[in-house]
């Protein structure tokens, strides 16, 4: 396992320097189809989680510039309000709404999704951008490890609960994964990382991002009239990278992409015509389908393991929902 991990990391860094940096984006941009994003979004509604900064805020701003109605989902009220006002100021679009939600708290996500569907008639695009990389082992009140609760389970619950609304609009779901998932093989036996002898938050996050890729491919099989995609924004200069990965940031800060470059493929997947013509449930970088595995990296999981991930997440989320119902009775 140690040798496999060393190989994956070495190949990942080499691939990252070539493809995930701003130089990689600039090279890829040369083949972008002109005017692919020239779309009027005045009749469309978008939800972006983790929209207070970085890639999420950039995506929200780009949608707003084209006239979309934007639902910015943020954890911190002050930062969220500041981000909302900034998007309105920059774009002149008044149809910007702030929702406060902690994606690590499943019961809050269930309540939010229920309220949103009761009060909002339309949702065309869901961007699952919120995420975290917590370096120490921390558990929230349900006993769930914080990274898993936010990155995997939170994404699963929000998406699953909003599928009826997205189905009615033949919508799209874009989940922001990362290149880090290349270093992890799917693990469905230890969601809380309790079997990890020494907790490694960076690897746990990579595992969560791998889980997101698998979830997306499975959702695509279950809901063919919704376009599901995952994407790698590349190595992007965001507050999360600066605070959670300081060594990485200090090493590569001159090569990192801007948040706008990191968000470009999110926007393309959300509004361009071309993604609708591609196979559902795929993984992208820089507006192109990408293989979600490195060569000879032993990260592929079996179809049975992929299906079991969804079975286990469904069982876990339903148990939480059941406890909520019992508490309310």
Q: Which residues contact 243 (CB under 8 A, 6 or more apart)?
A: none
The predicted-structure confidence for 12-48, as pLDDT tens digits, reads as follows: 888 888 899 999 999 999 999 999 999 999 999 999 9
For 248-263, what is the mean pLDDT? Answer: 91
Residue with tokens 């990362």: 178
d(CA 48, CA 127) in angstroms, rounded, equals 5
CATH 3.40.50.720 for the 2-328 domain, yes or no: yes
In the chain, the percentage of residues whose pLDDT exceeds 70 is 98
167 sits in which H/E element: helix 155-168
Describe the strand order of the beta sheet including 69-74 as a list of residue ranges. Answer: 96-100, 69-74, 45-49, 125-128, 172-176, 227-231, 282-285, 288-289
Residue boundaries of the structural domains of the chain? 2-328
Q: What share of the chain is helix, strand, coil (3-state, %, to 5)?
A: 55, 10, 35
- Measured between alpha carbons, how far is residue 154 from residues 30, 282, 316 in Å? 36, 20, 11
Position with higher pLDDT, 157 vs 327 = 157
| Model pLDDT, residue 256 | 94
Query: Coil, strand, or helix at residue 14?
Result: helix
pLDDT-derived band at 4 (thresholds 50, 70, 90) equals: low
For 256-279, what is the mean pLDDT? Answer: 97
Query: Coil, strand, or helix at residue 49?
Result: strand
This model's pTM is above 0.75: yes
pLDDT-derived band at 11 (thresholds 50, 70, 90) equals: confident
């Amino acid at each position: 396992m140690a040798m496999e991990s060393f190989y994956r990391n070495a190949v990942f860094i080499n691939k990252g320097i070539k493809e995930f940096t701003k130089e990689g984006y600039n090279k890829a941009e040369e083949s972008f189809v002109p005017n692919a994003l020239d779309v009027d979004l005045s009749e469309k509604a978008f939800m972006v989680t983790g929209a207070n900064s970085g890639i999420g805020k950039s995506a929200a701003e780009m949608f707003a510039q084209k006239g979309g109605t934007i639902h910015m989902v943020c954890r911190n009220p002050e930062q969220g309000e500041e981000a909302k006002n900034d998007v309105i100021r920059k774009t002149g679009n008044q149809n910007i709404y702030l929702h406060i939600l902690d994606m690590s708290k499943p019961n809050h996500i269930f309540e939010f999704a229920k309220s949103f569907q009761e009060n909002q008639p339309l949702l065309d695009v869901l961007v699952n951008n919120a995420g975290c990389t917590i370096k120490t082992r921390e558990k929230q009140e349900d006993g769930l490890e914080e990274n898993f609760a936010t990155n995997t389970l939170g994404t699963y619950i929000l998406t699953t609960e909003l599928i009826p609304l997205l189905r009615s609009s033949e919508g799209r779901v874009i989940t922001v994964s990362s290149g880090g998932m290349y270093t992890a093989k799917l693990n469905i036996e230890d969601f809380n990382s309790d079997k990890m002898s020494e907790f490694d938050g960076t690897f746990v996050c990579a595992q969560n991002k791998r889980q997101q890729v698998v979830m997306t491919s499975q959702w695509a099989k279950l809901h063919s009239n919704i376009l599901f995609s995952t994407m790698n924004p590349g190595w992007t200069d965001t507050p999360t990278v600066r605070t959670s990965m300081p060594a990485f940031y200090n090493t590569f800060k001159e090569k990192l992409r801007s948040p706008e470059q990191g968000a470009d493929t999110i926007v393309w997947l959300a509004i361009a015509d071309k993604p609708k013509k591609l196979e559902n449930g795929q993984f992208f970088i820089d507006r192109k389908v990408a293989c979600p595995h490195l060569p000879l990296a032993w990260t592929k999981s079996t179809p049975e393991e992929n299906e079991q991930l969804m079975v286990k997440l469904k069982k876990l989320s339903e148990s939480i929902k059941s406890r909520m119902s019992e508490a309310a009775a």
